[in-house]
Amino acid sequence: MPLQTLKIPIPTPNETSSTRSLISVLSLTPHPEGGYFNRTHTNPTTIPSPFPGQIGETRPLSTSIFYLITAHSPIMRFHKNRSSIVHTAVRGRGRYVLIHESGKVETFVVGCDVEGGEVAQWVVEGGLWKASVLEEGAGELLITEVVVPGFDFSDHEFMVKDRLVDIVGLDAAEKLSPLLRS
């Protein structure tokens, strides 16, 4: 898909009552990337951090979350994690945008309609930049994420404009900049 046709959703003023009910049933809270989340599992086994420069640090073997983007909060902003993350679609439809350090931009539609070509399970390796947007016509995208080793904010980094320009060039960065936090 050419980046020109990437649809950036406009947030609605409020959540619908069915989305509010989903947020409440799953005890989700706002995520700094956009959308909502809840930690559902922290593996009780602890391992030494495998990442460079973190001697003496530990991580849970894995952590899991529900993550939701909605009509009111339809964008997960560009960021990367050191850990690899296994994502599984639970309901709804969205589009993932991945940026490799080489500058290659990859985008695909995620959801549960596997016969219709939606990707129901996808792995984002540590170090890749990722963002997601709600697909037009979808009220929400609910997924699970399993983070290995477990999530820690010190392994997380938001993309900034200058870095985006460096990686993908000025033209692509202009098109992708609505997906930046800053």
User: Which residues lie near ligand GUN (CB under 6 A)?
Assistant: 37, 39, 63, 65, 145, 147, 151
Residue nearest to ligand GUN according to CB distances in the complex = 151
Q: Which residues of 61-83 are buried (b: 16+ CB within 10 A; e: fewer)?
A: ebbbbbbbbbbbbbbbbbbbbbb
Shortest Å distance, C-beta 82 to ligand GUN: 12
Closer CB to ligand GUN, residue 63 or residue 70? 63
Residues 6+ apart with CB under 8 A from 55: none
Closer CB to ligand GUN, residue 69 or residue 168? 69
Mapped onto helix, strand or coil, the DSSP state of residue 6 is coil
Closer CB to ligand GUN, residue 15 or residue 145? 145
Shortest Å distance, C-beta 65 to ligand GUN: 4
Closer CB to ligand GUN, residue 96 or residue 151? 151
Closer CB to ligand GUN, residue 22 or residue 28? 28
Q: Phi-psi bin for 89: left (phi > 0), alpha (psi -120 to 50), beta?
A: beta
d(CA 40, CA 27): 10
Shortest Å distance, C-beta 115 to ligand GUN: 29
Shortest Å distance, C-beta 182 to ligand GUN: 18
Shortest Å distance, C-beta 151 to ligand GUN: 4
For 161, what's the count of Cα atoms within 13 Å in the CB-facing half-sphere? 7
d(CA 145, CA 72): 21
d(CA 125, CA 82): 8
